[in-house]
Amino acid sequence: LHNANRSRKLLCQESIFTSLDSSRILVNLVLGQIDWEASDDQKQQCLNKGKDNKTECYNHIRFLQRFNSTHLYTCGTHAFSPLCAYIDGREFKISSAFEEGREKCPYDPTKGYTGLLIDQQMYTASQYEFRSFPDIRRNSPNPTLRTEEAPTQWLQEADFVGSALVRKNVSSSVGDEDKIYFFFTEKSQELSPYFSHSRVARVARVCKRDRGGLLTLQKKWTSFLKARLVCSLPDYEFHFNVLRSVFFLEGSGPQDSVFYGIFGLEWKNVKASAICQYSVSDIQWAFDGPYMESREESSSKWTQYTGKVPEPRPGSCITDQLRAKGINSSTNLPDDVLHFVRRHPLMYRQILPQKQRPLLFRRNVDYTKIAVHRVTGLDDQIYHVLFIGTDEGWLQRAVKVDGQLHIIEELQLFEKPQPVESIIISEKQMSVYVGSPTSVVQLPLSTCSRYSSCFDCVMARDPFCAWDGLECVEITSHNRRYELLHRSRSVMAGDDVLLQCELSSNLATPEWKLNGTELRGYRTDSGYRIGTDGLLVIEARPHQSGDYCCFALENGVHVPVVIYSLTVRQELPAPPPVEPIRPHLTTAIYLSLITILGGLCFVLTVVLLYVGFCLQGRRGKYSLRATARTERKRGAHLELKTISSHCNGKPDAHDGLLQIVPGEATTSPNKELPPAPPLPPPPESEYVNGLSATLPSVLRKMNGNSYVLLRQTDGDTTSPLCYSFTEELNRILEKRKHTQLCSKPDESSV
């Protein structure tokens, strides 16, 4: 038993449990050990029954599985007096009193046995009790169920080799339930002059929720059905009729799940083995077919039943359709259905392997155990790797390619020949554990380093290995050389959409697949058009939604390039729901807004005060009347400066206005205006149009003892366009020289 979560492996050898470190099993690091031996009194009682003291009168462990997250459940023969017990997985010790195991475990250690713990319910199949009666049972909890013995015995000397739980399809529209399959070899009931085999391989099925009948088939299975497994060479009509081992490889659903079986011959002097593969769908097809019935007067004991089949179908599980009719449990089934099940457990259809022939056939070898591992190769294809043990201690590793098995390697595991009894695969440890009656061996899942050349590495067909240009390496330890692009597209129904596929090689051609099915479309009525630039989906319809994968095809090699997940919508998607704002969030938002508005008001107030202060300081600078009144009282001179960006060529902040600058002067005793100083002669430089290059700098005393000085700066750079202004101003001032001025001149006089 392998515990992947705690990296432990439990070994059972007769009456000893040993816990080993699964990552270093070869160093023989023992983590714990439990001795569960039969007492001397029990051994003596076993001898009194006529059993062998060296092989049979011991406690042979037959069942060990996990019961829950902390405990294991185990059963042993206990010297032909079976017992069961719980083991504490943390402390690794037996943690409960022993339980009676006669209904759960066979007496004889050599009898075939299989069992499952499903939701803490125990399902077992073996030859029970001291008389070795074959049965399939559910032992705990109640109700306890078993097979029927009379009037029709459902099992004939059955030798069980395996069992498996097949989960129901989650997307099933019928509301089906889980089923349990049991695999065994039994005495043939179809024995006739045309069928010479005395034993045949079978598979039986029961429903997990079966509760038995109310009166008929009380405490018996109401869903028991069985069918024959066929593994033969059709070219020679050579049948392998003994089932030795079975392995269930679970997929995403029942349609993807398969069984692998090892078949042999019932003749002891002939060694030959075959491996056949069966799908769960094929098994279900057989159970949905016609029944067989027993006729004593017929030359063949069992023939096809041609009469009327009652409703609901006998042997079927409880579905939603039956629940709608009020049949919620097997105890609600009608008596005619239960009577039919009692007399018709065998199905008429035979279950054929995939491709109607074995995957592998070998002479002179007896295969004993099989385990299968699912691997994804570099080409993103799924490969099944098979580990096959032989009766002489050899392990063969094979890979399934194109429906055929190719043996990759064959290893001899033990010094002395002994049969392989168990094979367990640990994906976490990347190891396979092989057990025999005396020892256990840990092996890697692949040995890529032993391939020395590119040819050997590639032709081995090992999906674990690839050539990196220098050596053969494991693909799990190296990054992929490329990453497959994943894109999503959404389109309204009736619209066209182009899925682009860029190929790096000019010699490659695109190939498209929808959900794994190849698309071929070059006409508009097909709904697709494939070109070198991509795939055009014409007038998309809802059934065209899915995963579109583009492959680059060159020299027979398919390389995936891009995957599109296309969704065709019937209507626009609804907007996402707006999450309501919680009260405490609303309060926080209001407080934040109030704080922000308060801050803005404060800043605005400061700015307004600053602007008002600045305007108040400049009021006297731009007010001519206030300045004139003030300066008359002080007897000061006023100085007018002409500031014009048009005259001197230099812009200024005052935009060419007249600026009145307060001046200082002494009061003159004369009341008459002094004579005006002579005008300065014009400068020598003149422009071609006769205008002066400068303006006069002094004009005349205007009133009383106050002087008005008009001054033009930067005479060298004065524009000639200002000369007309100068003459006009001089003319006006000359005219006003002898004119009586007002005591209070206004701005226009200035």
Backbone angles phi, psi at 611, to 5 degrees: -65, -45
Whether the ω angle into residue 573 lies within 30 degrees of 0, i.e. cis, is: no
Going by the DSSP 8-state scheme, the letter that residue 352 receives in this structure is P
- Of 408, 445, 409, nearest to 426 by C-alpha is 445
418 Rama class: left (phi>0) / alpha (psi -120 to 50) / beta: beta
Predicted confidence at residue 643, as pLDDT, reads: 40
Q: Which residue has the higher pLDDT, 271 or 627?
A: 271
| Percent residues over pLDDT 90 in the chain | 34
Q: Which residue has the higher pLDDT, 243 or 235?
A: 243
Out of 1-15, 165-179, 239-253, 372-386, pick the least confident.
1-15
Q: Which residue has the higher pLDDT, 348 or 638?
A: 348
Q: Hunting for tokens 């475990």 — which residue is that?
A: 105
In this prediction, residues 200-205 reach a mean pLDDT of: 96
In this prediction, residues 273-284 reach a mean pLDDT of: 95
What CA–CA distances, in Å, run from 707 to 220, 299, 327, 637, 735?
136, 154, 125, 6, 17
Predicted confidence at residue 114, as pLDDT, reads: 95
Predicted confidence at residue 149, as pLDDT, reads: 82
Residue 630 has pLDDT above 50, yes or no: no
Tokens of 165: 């739980």
Going by the DSSP 8-state scheme, the letter that residue 436 receives in this structure is -
Q: For 560-575, write each residue's pLDDT tens digit.
A: 889 999 999 887 656 6
- Of 143, 210, 151, 158, nearest to 179 by C-alpha is 210
In this prediction, residues 705-734 reach a mean pLDDT of: 58
- Of 263, 276, 270, nearest to 364 by C-alpha is 270
Instruction: Return d(Cα 77, Cα 731) in angstroms, integer.
Output: 142
Residue 269 has pLDDT above 70, yes or no: yes
In which band, very low, low, confident or very high, does the pLDDT at 24 lie, cut at 50, 70 and 90?
low
Q: For 32-73, write each residue's pLDDT tens digit.
A: 678 888 888 988 999 998 888 878 888 898 999 999 888 999
79 Rama class: left (phi>0) / alpha (psi -120 to 50) / beta: left
Asked whether the beta carbons of 182 and 166 are under 8 A apart, the reply is no
Predicted confidence at residue 583, as pLDDT, reads: 62
Q: For 97-133, write each residue's pLDDT tens digit.
A: 889 988 899 998 889 999 999 988 999 999 987 777 8
Angle formed at CA 260 by CA 123 and CA 127, multiple of 5 degrees:
35
The helix (run of H) or strand (run of E) holding residue 26 is: none
Predicted confidence at residue 641, as pLDDT, reads: 44
Predicted confidence at residue 249, as pLDDT, reads: 94
Instruction: Return d(Cα 126, Cα 165) in angstroms, integer.
Output: 17
The helix (run of H) or strand (run of E) holding residue 283 is: helix 280-287
Predicted confidence at residue 479, as pLDDT, reads: 55
List the domains of the chain with CATH numbers: 485-569 (2.60.40.10), 623-735 (no CATH)
Asked whether the beta carbons of 244 and 262 are under 8 A apart, the reply is yes
Predicted confidence at residue 8, as pLDDT, reads: 62
Instruction: Return d(Cα 699, Cα 668) in angstroms, integer.
Output: 18
Asked whether the beta carbons of 160 and 114 are under 8 A apart, the reply is yes
CA torsion 50-54-55-58 (nearest 10°) is 90
Sheet order of strands, 528-531 included: 497-500, 534-537, 528-531
- Of 414, 405, 451, nearest to 436 by C-alpha is 414
Q: Chain centroid to CA 624: how far?
A: 86
| Number of residues assigned to the chain | 750
Q: For 673-702, write each residue's pLDDT tens digit.
A: 556 556 555 544 444 444 344 444 444 444
Look up the pTM and report it.
0.66
Predicted confidence at residue 219, as pLDDT, reads: 92
Predicted confidence at residue 644, as pLDDT, reads: 41
Backbone angles phi, psi at 695, to 5 degrees: -105, 155
Average pLDDT, the chain: 79
Round to the nearest angstrom and report the end-to-end CA distance of the chain: 117
Predicted confidence at residue 746, as pLDDT, reads: 53
Residue 559 has pLDDT above 90, yes or no: no
Predicted confidence at residue 635, as pLDDT, reads: 45
Tokens of 432: 């396979």
Residues 295-302: contacts with CB under 8 Å, at least 24 apart? 299/192, 299/193, 300/190, 300/191, 300/192, 300/194, 300/195, 301/189, 301/190, 301/191, 301/192, 302/189, 302/190, 302/346
Predicted confidence at residue 741, as pLDDT, reads: 54
Predicted confidence at residue 163, as pLDDT, reads: 96
Q: For 239-249, write each residue's pLDDT tens digit.
A: 999 999 999 99
- Produce one character per residue of 567-601: b if its CB has 16 or more CB atoms within 10 Å, e if not: ebeeeeeeeeeeeeeeeeeeeeeeeeeeeeeeeee
Predicted confidence at residue 175, as pLDDT, reads: 62
Q: For 380-438, write each residue's pLDDT tens digit.
A: 788 999 999 999 999 999 999 888 889 999 999 998 999 999 999 988 888 999 999 88
Whether the ω angle into residue 669 lies within 30 degrees of 0, i.e. cis, is: no
Going by the DSSP 8-state scheme, the letter that residue 195 receives in this structure is B
Predicted confidence at residue 639, as pLDDT, reads: 43
Q: For 318-339, write each residue's pLDDT tens digit.
A: 888 888 888 999 999 999 999 9
Predicted confidence at residue 258, as pLDDT, reads: 95
Predicted confidence at residue 169, as pLDDT, reads: 74
Residue 731 CB partners (closer than 8 Å, separation 6+): none
In which band, very low, low, confident or very high, does the pLDDT at 181 lie, cut at 50, 70 and 90?
very high
Q: Hunting for tokens 């997940």 — which residue is that?
A: 565
Going by the DSSP 8-state scheme, the letter that residue 276 receives in this structure is E
**How many C-beta atoms surround the C-beta of residue 607 within 10 A?**
10
In this prediction, residues 12-40 reach a mean pLDDT of: 69
Residue 662 has pLDDT above 80, yes or no: no
Give the side-chain half-sphere CA count within 13 A for 558: 13
Tokens of 26: 């070869």
In this prediction, residues 359-379 reach a mean pLDDT of: 92
DSSP string of 563-612, one letter each residue: EEEEEEESSPPPPPPPPPPPHHHHHHHHHHHHHHHHHHHHHHHHHHHHHH
Going by the DSSP 8-state scheme, the letter that residue 280 receives in this structure is H
| Strands (E) located in 493-527 | 497-500, 509-514, 517-518
Residue 188 has pLDDT above 80, yes or no: yes
